[in-house]
Structure 1
Amino acid sequence: MRALTANRLSDGEVVFWKAGQWVERFADAELFGADAQAAAEAAEGHAKAQPTVVVEPYLIDLIESEGLWAPLSYRERIRALGPTNHPAHGKQAEGGAVIDALRHAHGAARSTGRVDLIKRK
């Protein structure tokens, strides 16, 4: 599974792709399975054509955690949770099953999407 993420240009907020628009919560993100690779790449292409809306859109790898999906890389889990300075700040303050899955997920240091982005620069 994969999801498309970026930062909103107007305020720097981490956003996720869902059916042609950007949403702020990872729980609302559109997930692309292995059978939807073409759709994921099309969404990434569409997002990259929005340079006045988002910065550096890229696909991230996901893993299953507690029956839900979470970003594979630690960096992406931090981005999905919000700031790490205190559990009562950011998106993590909302709580719920998705937040718990994000907090307990384990994975690699980087997802392939971010590695590909770094290689392109």
Structure 2
Amino acid sequence: MKALTANRLIDGDVVFWKAGKWVERFGDADLFDDPGAAEAAEGQAKSQPTVVIDPYLIDLMESDGLWAPLSYRERIRALGPTNHPSHGKQAEGGEVIEALLHADGAARSSGRVNLIKRK
């Protein structure tokens, strides 16, 4: 399973792909189990260079019956600023936030590793 993420240019906030547009919450993101659909969404996202920067697919894992990013880095990005638990997206709470907080593993997303290898 994969999700598509990027940073919004206007404010640098982490955003996720849903039905052809960007949303701020990981819990609202489209999850792709078909590699072709994921790559098609990534291609469509990359055609929006004035909206976001560096869209890429992230690997997901099951956590507490929900999905969470596999990599620790991506879980931090999905939770918002980590300077204090009462700030950012993590302060909203809920099932998705709990799944993100309790997910374990620190593997890198394969999409990001491929991006790093290309540089």
The alpha-carbon deviation at position 65 of structure 1 amounts to 0.2
List gaps (5 residues or longer) in structure 1.
none
3-state SS, counterpart of residue 107 of structure 1: coil
User: Counterparts of 1:43 and 1:108 in 2: how far apart (Å)?
Assistant: 25
The alpha-carbon deviation at position 120 of structure 1 amounts to 2.0
Aligned position for 2:20: 20
Match of 1:100 among 95, 98, 101: 98
User: Counterparts of 1:55 and 1:115 in 2: how far apart (Å)?
Assistant: 17
Aligned position for 2:74: 76
Q: What fraction of aligned residue pairs are identical, expressed as a percent?
A: 81
Paired letter, 1:65: S
- 1:58-96 Cα offsets, whole Å, 9 max, x none, are 000000000000000000000000011110000000000
- The alignment's TM-score, normalised by the length of structure 1, stands at 0.96
User: Counterparts of 2:118 and 2:4 in 1: how far apart (Å)?
Assistant: 17
Runs of 4+ in 1 over 3 A off after TM superposition: none
- 1:95-118 Cα offsets, whole Å, 9 max, x none, are 001000000001233111111111
Tell me if 1:48 matches 2:24: no
Aligned position for 1:117: 115
The alpha-carbon deviation at position 17 of structure 1 amounts to 0.3
RMSD between superposed Cα atoms in Å:
0.7
> How many residues are treated as equivalent by the alignment?
119
